[in-house]
Amino acid sequence: MTNLIALILGLVIVGALALDGLIYGSEHFVYLGKKFFELIEWMAFWR
Q: Could you state, in order of their start, the residue ranges of all structural domains in the chain?
A: 3-45
pLDDT at res. 25: 84
pLDDT at res. 27: 81
Residue 12: pLDDT band with limits 50, 70, 90: very high
What's the pTM value of the predicted model, to 2 decimals? 0.62
pLDDT at res. 11: 96
Report how far residue 47's alpha carbon sits from residue 38's, in angstroms, rounded to the nearest whole number. Answer: 15
Query: For residue 6, is pLDDT > 90?
Result: yes
User: What is the greatest pairwise CA distance in the chain?
Assistant: 37
